[in-house]
Structure 1
Amino acid sequence: MNPDRPLDGFRSIKVKLGILVASSVVAAVLVSEAGSRAGVPAWLTMPVTVAVALAVTQWLARGMTSPLREMTAAASVMATGDYSSRVTTTSRDEVGELARAFNTMAADLSASDQQRRQLVATVSHELRTPLTAQQALLENLVDGVISPDSESLRTALAQAERLSALVSDLLDLSRVDGGVTPLTLSRIDLAELIDQGVREANAAGADRRYIRFDVSVDAAQAEIYADAGRLAQVIANLLDNAVRHSPVGGTVTVRGGALDTQRWALEVFDEGPGIPADRAESVFTRFGSWSDSGGGTGLGLAIASWVCELHGGSISVLPADSGAHLRAVLPTVPSPASVSEPTKENSVPHASSAAVAEPPPARSSAPTPPADSPVAQLFGNAWPERNQKARPDLVLGCVGVGVLAALILPERNNIGLGALLVLFVCGGVVFAASVRKRAPWTMALALVSAGLGSLLVLRDADWLSVLAVLIVVVLTMSALTGARAVAATVLAAASWPVAALRGLPLLGRSMSALSRHSIIWPVLRTVVISVAALVIFGGLFASGDAIFGSWADQLIPDVNADGFVYRSFVGFFVGGTVLAATYVAINPPPVNNTAMTSGRPVHRRFEWLVPLGLVIAIFGVFLAAQASAMWGGHDYVQRTTGLTYAEYVHQGFGQLVAVTFLTLVTVALAARKAPRVTANDRLLLNVSLGLLCVLALAVVGSALLRMYVYQEAYGFTVLRVLVIAFEFWMGLLLVFVLTAGIVRHGRWIPRGALLSAALFILAIGLINPEAFVAQRNIDRYNETGKIDTHYLRRLGPDATPAIVAGLPRELATCIVSAPPNLSDDVLEWNLGRARAAAAAQGLDPSQTTGCDSWLLDQS
C-alpha cells in the first residue's frame, strides 16, 4: 500500500468516499471513548477528537484528490507551451481514468507541437544546402571566378530544381506528420548521384578549404533502385557532415558497393577527430552533433537516418582508426517503412534548427509543482501561503513541546512552576518561528507576556492565571500578525484556531519530508509493528493461559495507573495548539488589509452634529445632578431620593460603566461618519468630540467616586476592584482619544489600548488583589468592628498572610481553617501557596469548633 495514496487499489470513488467517512467516524469514536474512559474532561476530548478525525480525513482524501491537483498544475504548465508534464495514474477509480486520459491528451499535444516544430526545422535545414551552393555559384559568376558556361548553368539549374523539389516536399512532410510518407522509387545511377552531391559540396565551400573527394562505386552496384530525391538528401548530409569535420586539405572518401544479394552500402570516411564511441548513437538524434566545434545544427545525420529508415534500411557509425566512418545500409529492393507516431528522438528527425527555427521550450526535470490544495482554495487571498517550504523542524519542536506538557501538566492539580515552564517553552518555540520576531512591537509584547506568565508562579489565584493566559494569547497573536486596528486585533486572535485548518497543507508537506528521512520512519514503523504484535499475541496468550497471564500482569505496567491516556490527550492538545500558533508565526494572515466598512460620511453637518449635541447635553444635565448631590450632602440625597448616600452611589455604578463604554463607541462612529472636507468641518468635529471626552472623563470620576464610597460602606471585593480597574482603563482610553485629537494622529490608539490593558492586568497581579482586598476589609474591621468573614473565607491563599497578620488569632484561625498543603514536587511550587503555608504554620485547626456562631456574631 502506498502511504501517500492508501485508497488507490479501489476501483470506485464511491467506495473511497464511504471508506473515508467510515474511517473518520471510527477514529473519532475510538478517541472519544478512550478519553471518556480515562476521565479526560470534555473541553480537552472534543478538540483532540476533531483533530484526529480531520487528520484521518486529510490522509485519505489527499490521495483521492492529488490527481486532480496534479492535473490543475499540469494544465497551467501546458498553457505556457510545455507539454512534458504528466500526472500520476496509480489510482484505479474514475479519477485515475481521467488522469490516464489527461496523460494521453498531453502526449498527443506534445507530439503535435513537436511535429509542427520539426516541419519548420526540417524544411529550413534542407533549404540551406542548395541555397548556399547556389549563392556561392552566383557569387563566383558575378566576381568572374568562373565563366557562365553550360556546365555552371546546369549546376545552378540543378540546385534550382532541387529547391523546387524541396518546396514540393512540403506536402510530403505534412504526410509524414500524418503517419505516412510515400517514396518515388526508380532506377538511378549511384555514381552520378554521388558526383552531384560532390559538386554541391564543392559549391558550398569544400573547394575553398581544399577538401578532396575520393569516390569509388562498385560496378555491380552502379544502378540502384531508390527514391532519388531522398537518397540525394542522405548523400548531401553525409558529405556536409564529413566536410565540416575534416581538416583543411583533408580527404573525404565515398564508397558504394554491394554487401550481399539483398543489401548494398554507402560509406563515407573523413580525416576529422572522429566520433567517440559513447556518442555513436546520439549523432543520429535531433541536435545530436557530437562536437560543439564542428558547426551545423546536428540535424543532417538525423535526416539521413530518417530517409534510410523510410527505405527499410539503417545508418550507423563504425569504428575507425582515425576520423569518422559512417555507413548507410539500404535494401536492393526497398520495402518502405511506414512512419508512425515517434517513440524515440530519432524516429522522425524533423527537429528545429537552432539558427533558423523556433526552439522548443525548456523541459524542466523538476517535478510538477502541486496545485493549490482545497484548503488553500478555501482561504484564497484572505490568507495566502507565500513560498512556505516543508518545516519538519517545527513539527518535531511541537511534538517535543507536547511530550513536555504530557509529562508535567497531568497529575499536578496546582498551577505552579511546571505550568510556567511549559508556557515559556511554548512561547519560545512560537517566538523563534516568527518572521516578525525582530520587530519592536513583537519584542515589547513578548516581554509583557513573560511578565503576565510569571503570575502563574507569583500568585495562587486561578481566575488571575486564566485571565493572564487569555491576555497572553491576544498579545501573542497581535505580535505575530502585527495587528494595528481593533478589527485586525480581533481577526488576529481568531487566526489561532483557524490556523489548525489553514496549516494542514504545510503539515502534510512537512510530514512527507519527514517520511523521506532515512531513519525516523523506519524506526517508527518498527516500533508500531512491534508493539502491535506484542499486544495481539501477548493478549491472546494471556487470555488463554492463566500462568502466562499472571506473568504478563507482573511485567506489563498499567498505563491507566500513570494516566497514559490522559497524558496523551494533554500532549496532543498542547502540541497541536503550539503547532497552529507556529503556522501563524511563519505565515501571518494579512489582518491589517481588512478594513471596517462604515459607509460613506454624511454630507450635512446636522446629520451627525444634532445627535452628538443631544448626547453632550445629556452628559451636562447628569453632571449637574451629580454636583447637586455633592453640594447638597447626604441629607439632600435622602430627602430627594429616599436612599442613603451609600445606596445612592451603588445604584448607578453599572450604568455609568456602560455609559463610558458607549461614549467610546460614539466617538468612533462620529469620527467615521462626520465629513472632513473643510477646515471648519475638522475643527467642529474636534471640538465636539473633545467636549464629549472631557464630560465622559467627569463621568468616569463620578463612577470611581461612587464605587469608593460604596466599598467604604459595605467592604471591598475582588470583583469591585476589577470593575474599578476596568473603568479606570476606559478613562485612559478617553485620554488617548483626546491626545489623538490634539496631535491629529490616532492610528496608535488600538495598540496603545491593547498594551495598556495588558499592563493593567500585570499591575493588578503584582499588587496581589486578594491580599489587597483582605487588607482593606481588615482596615475597615479595625475602624468599625464590621467584617464580612464569609467573603474572606472564599479568598484564596494569596490573602492568607494579610488575614493572619491583621486579625486576632482566634478570628484568623476561623477564617483560615484549611491552610494549603505544600507538595514536595518542585514543579508545583508557587510563591502564593508557599507564603500562605508559612503564615498559617502556627494556626491550630482544632480550635475552630465554635467558629460558626462566633463568626455570625462578628459579621
Structure 2
Amino acid sequence: MSEQSSEEPGTAGTPPAPEVAGVPTPGGGASAEGTGRERPAPRGRAKTSAQVPSQGSDPDEPEVPARPAYLQGPRPPADPWKRRDQQQPPGVLATLRPSPPHAIRPATLWSVLATGLLSALLLGEGLGPNVLLVALPAALAAFFAARDAGRRLRPWTAVWAVGGLVLLVVPAIRDAGWPVFLAVVSALALGSLALHGSRSWPGVLLGSLGLFPSVAAGLRWGWRGVRERADDSRGRVRTAVRSAAVALVLLVVFGALFAGADAAFADLLGVLAPDVSVGDSPWRVLLFALGLVGALAAAYSAAAPVRWDGITVRPGRPRNRVEWALPLVVLNLLFAAFVALQLAVLLGGYDKVLEETGLTPAAYARQGFWQLLWATLLTLLVIALALRWAPRDGARDRTLVRGVLGVLCVLTLVVVASALRRMDLYVDAFGLTRLRISVAAVELWLGVVLVLILAAGVFGARLLPRAVAVSAAAGVLAFGLISPDGLIAEQNVERYRSDRTIDISYLQGLSADAVPALDELPEPLRSCALEDIGRTLATSGSPWYATSLGEARAREILEERAVQDHGNICFELDVREGERDVSEETDTYDPY
C-alpha cells in the first residue's frame, strides 16, 4: 500500500513529516494505521499533557512529547546535611557576640607570647608576686586588642580591671593558701567582667565566667594572625629570631664572666634568674600553653566580647496586693518577735535567757549561729522571689513593695547582728579557727548585701548587680589583707595571756602568716607551735618570685630565734577538757 501526502491549510510549501501509527507527528497531526490520509487535530479542544510544550520553549519550535508519569522515576532527595545547616538557627553565643575581630596585631601577639613565657618561667614553684607579673602582659594584650577593635575605656571597665590587679597583690603578701585561692578566683572573675562590660544580673553572673567561650575562638584567631604575619614578613621574623639568639648568647657569656669575677654578683644572678631544669620541662610546657591560651582568650574577649546583658529574664506574673503582701507581713511579724528577744541579748541581757534555757553562753551561741546564717540566706531568696511576683500597677504598688521588703531587710540586719554576736561568744569560749572566721565573714557580707538592697529601694536598682559584685571583691581583698591566719594566732595568744588555755595542735597547722604572733609565746609553747612551720620553710627553698611577704618575714624571725628541740614535751601539751568544744571532732585540726 502506498503513502499519499497532503498539505495542511496555512502550511503551504512545507511537506508534513512522516509519522508512526498512533504517535503524533511534530506538526501535530496523526495518521491511521494502514492509510495515507492525514487526520487534522480538532479545533477548540485543549491539548493533552503530551502536547503541552515545556516551559521556556519557543512556540515556533516543534513540540517534544513529555515522558509519561508512570515512567518517571522518584526525584533525587535533597542533601540532608545542607538543608539542616541552612535551617538551623544561630546559637546563643552567635547572637550575643559581635562579628569576629580583625586580624590580631603585633602588639597583642607579643603580649600573648610574653604571658606564655612568664607563665612557664615563674609559675612552676608556687604563687607569690609571679601571679601579678604574669597578669600584667595578659592585661596589656587585652588592652591592645580592645583598642584595635575600637572599644573605649569606660569607668566600670576600669573599676573591674584595677580591682582584679589589686586582688593579685594578696598572693604577694600572704602565705596562707585559702585567702590566696579566693583572691585569684575573684581576680579572674573581675577581669572577665572588665572584658565583657556586664551590668545586669545575668551579665554579672555569666560575665564572670566569660573566658571559657573564647578559648577555641581565641586559638583560631591567634593562629590565623601568626600565619598571616609569617607570610607577610618572613624576613623580619628571621631578623627577630637572629637578634634574640645573639642577645641570649651575649647574656650567657658575659653573665658567666661577671659571676665568676664577683661572688656577690653571682648570688644576685642566682636569686633573680628563674630556676629552670630539664626534669620539669613537661610542667613548664603545660604552664606555657595555659598562659598562652588564657592570654589569647582574654584578648579575643576584649576584641569581641560576649554581650551577656542580651540575656533577659522575664519578670513573673504580678500578683494582687493581698496575695503578695499577706505572707510577707506574716513573716515580718515573726521576725519582729524574734528580734525583740535578740535586742535584749545584744544589749547584754542574755543572762536571764541563759538561766531560763539552762545553756552555757558557748552552747547558746553554738546552737543558734548556723540557724541564723541559714535564715539570712533564705531571706535573700524570699526577697528575690517577692520582687519577681510583686504587683506593678502604679505608685501605690511600688510604695507597698518598698515598705514590706524594707521592713524585712531591716529586721534581717538585726538577725545578722545577732548571729555575729553569737559567733563572738563562741570564739571567746573556744578560740578562733579558720572555719569560724570564714563563716563570720560570709555573714558580715550578707549584711552588706542587705544594706545595698535597702539603698536600691531608695535610689533605684540599676547599679545593684555591680554593687554586689564590688562588695564581694572588696570583702575578698579585705579578707586577704587582714591575714586570717595571723588574726587566728593573735586571738589565741591573747586568750593564753588572759589565763585561758591554748590549742597548740591546731596552731601547728597554720601558715607562715601566723609566725609573728606565735613568736610571742613563751617556751616551750613557742617552739612547739612553730616547729612544723619552720620545717616547711626550711625545705621549701622558693625563689623570690614565688615567695610571699609573709613567708619572707617568717624566715627572718626564725633565723633570729631558731626553733628549739624540746623532745616529747610538745606531744604532751594539750588543752583542758573543760575548755574544749566537745561537740566538735576529736581531731582539733581544722584546715578551713
Asked if Structure 1 and Structure 2 have the same fold, meaning a TM-score greater than 0.5 normalized by the shorter chain, the answer is yes
Counterpart CA distance in 2 for 1:817 and 1:641 is 44
Residue matched to 2:134: 422
1:710 Cα offset (Å)? 0.8
After TM superposition, list the pairs within 5 Å mapping 1:145-544 onto structure 2.
377-379=90-92, 381-386=94-99, 388-393=101-106, 394-410=108-124, 412=125, 414-434=126-146, 438-503=153-218, 506-507=221-222, 509-519=224-234
The answer on whether the counterparts of 2:170 and 2:480 sit within 8 Å (CA) in structure 1 is yes
2:285 is matched with which residue: 568, 583, 597? 568
Q: Look up the SS of the partner of 2:232 in the other structure.
A: coil
Residue matched to 1:616: 332
Residue matched to 1:832: 550
**Letter aligned with residue 579 of structure 1:** L
1:781 Cα offset (Å)? 0.9
1:616 Cα offset (Å)? 1.2
Counterpart CA distance in 2 for 1:430 and 1:615 is 49
Q: Look up the SS of the partner of 1:484 in the other structure.
A: coil
1:846 Cα offset (Å)? 4.5
- 1:589 equivalent to 2:303? Answer no
Q: Look up the SS of the partner of 2:462 in the other structure.
A: coil
2:446 is matched with which residue: 724, 730, 745? 730
Q: Look up the SS of the partner of 2:186 in the other structure.
A: helix
- Cα separation, partners in 2 of 1:503 and 1:579, compared to 1, 3 Å: closer
- Cα separation, partners in 2 of 1:627 and 1:613, compared to 1, 3 Å: same
Counterpart CA distance in 2 for 1:461 and 1:802 is 15
Aligned length: 454
Counterpart CA distance in 1 for 2:397 and 2:90 is 45
- 1:673 equivalent to 2:385? Answer no
- 1:700 equivalent to 2:403? Answer no
Residue matched to 2:498: 783
Counterpart CA distance in 1 for 2:294 and 2:198 is 21
1:804 Cα offset (Å)? 0.2
After TM superposition, list the pairs within 5 Å mapping 1:782-801 onto structure 2.
782-801=497-516
**Letter aligned with residue 552 of structure 2:** A
Q: What is the aligned-residue identity percentage? A: 33
The answer on whether the counterparts of 1:797 and 1:836 sit within 8 Å (CA) in structure 2 is yes
The answer on whether the counterparts of 1:392 and 1:513 sit within 8 Å (CA) in structure 2 is no
**Letter aligned with residue 444 of structure 1:** V
The answer on whether the counterparts of 1:634 and 1:644 sit within 8 Å (CA) in structure 2 is no
1:618 Cα offset (Å)? 2.1
**Letter aligned with residue 485 of structure 2:** E
Counterpart CA distance in 1 for 2:233 and 2:346 is 81
After TM superposition, list the pairs within 5 Å mapping 1:628-707 onto structure 2.
636-707=352-423
How far does the alpha carbon of each residue in 1:87-133 deviate from its partner, in whole angstroms, 9 at most, with x for none? xxxxxxxxxxxxxxxxxxxxxxxxxxxxxxxxxxxxxxxxxxxxxxx
Residue matched to 1:769: 484
Counterpart CA distance in 2 for 1:707 and 1:667 is 25
- Cα separation, partners in 2 of 1:417 and 1:796, compared to 1, 3 Å: same
The answer on whether the counterparts of 2:120 and 2:287 sit within 8 Å (CA) in structure 1 is yes
1:799 Cα offset (Å)? 0.5
The answer on whether the counterparts of 2:346 and 2:421 sit within 8 Å (CA) in structure 1 is no
The answer on whether the counterparts of 2:123 and 2:546 sit within 8 Å (CA) in structure 1 is no
Q: Look up the SS of the partner of 2:473 in the other structure.
A: helix
Residue matched to 1:548: none
Residue matched to 1:606: 322
The answer on whether the counterparts of 1:675 and 1:681 sit within 8 Å (CA) in structure 2 is yes
1:636 Cα offset (Å)? 3.7
**Letter aligned with residue 763 of structure 1:** A
How far does the alpha carbon of each residue in 1:416-472 deviate from its partner, in whole angstroms, 9 at most, with x for none? 233331133323323443355621112122222222111111111111111101001
Residue matched to 1:850: 568
- Cα separation, partners in 2 of 1:809 and 1:451, compared to 1, 3 Å: farther
1:765 Cα offset (Å)? 1.6
Counterpart CA distance in 2 for 1:380 and 1:407 is 35
**Letter aligned with residue 798 of structure 1:** D
Q: Which runs of 5+ in 2 are unaligned?
A: 1-56, 58-84, 243-275, 578-592
The answer on whether the counterparts of 1:437 and 1:443 sit within 8 Å (CA) in structure 2 is no
1:824 Cα offset (Å)? 7.4
Counterpart CA distance in 2 for 1:857 and 1:664 is 40
1:753 is matched with which residue: 468, 471, 478? 468
Residue matched to 1:580: 297
TM-score normalised according to structure 2 size: 0.70
Residue matched to 1:104: none
The answer on whether the counterparts of 2:122 and 2:546 sit within 8 Å (CA) in structure 1 is no
**Letter aligned with residue 447 of structure 1:** V
How far does the alpha carbon of each residue in 1:526-583 deviate from its partner, in whole angstroms, 9 at most, with x for none? 99xxxxxxxxxxxxxxxxxxxxxxxxxxxxxxx9834222211111112112211211
How far does the alpha carbon of each residue in 1:732-788 deviate from its partner, in whole angstroms, 9 at most, with x for none? 111111122222x11111111111211121122222221111111111111133111
Counterpart CA distance in 2 for 1:688 and 1:424 is 48
**Letter aligned with residue 623 of structure 1:** V
**Letter aligned with residue 801 of structure 1:** P
Counterpart CA distance in 2 for 1:397 and 1:749 is 35
- Cα separation, partners in 2 of 1:425 and 1:392, compared to 1, 3 Å: closer
**Letter aligned with residue 452 of structure 2:** F
**Letter aligned with residue 136 of structure 2:** F
**Letter aligned with residue 697 of structure 1:** L
**Letter aligned with residue 586 of structure 1:** A
Counterpart CA distance in 2 for 1:566 and 1:719 is 33
Counterpart CA distance in 2 for 1:511 and 1:373 is 32
Q: Which runs of 5+ in 1 are unaligned?
A: 1-177, 179-371, 528-558
TM-score normalised according to structure 1 size: 0.49
RMSD over equivalenced CA pairs, Å:
3.2
Residue matched to 2:559: 841
The answer on whether the counterparts of 1:483 and 1:591 sit within 8 Å (CA) in structure 2 is yes
- Whose Rg is larger? 1
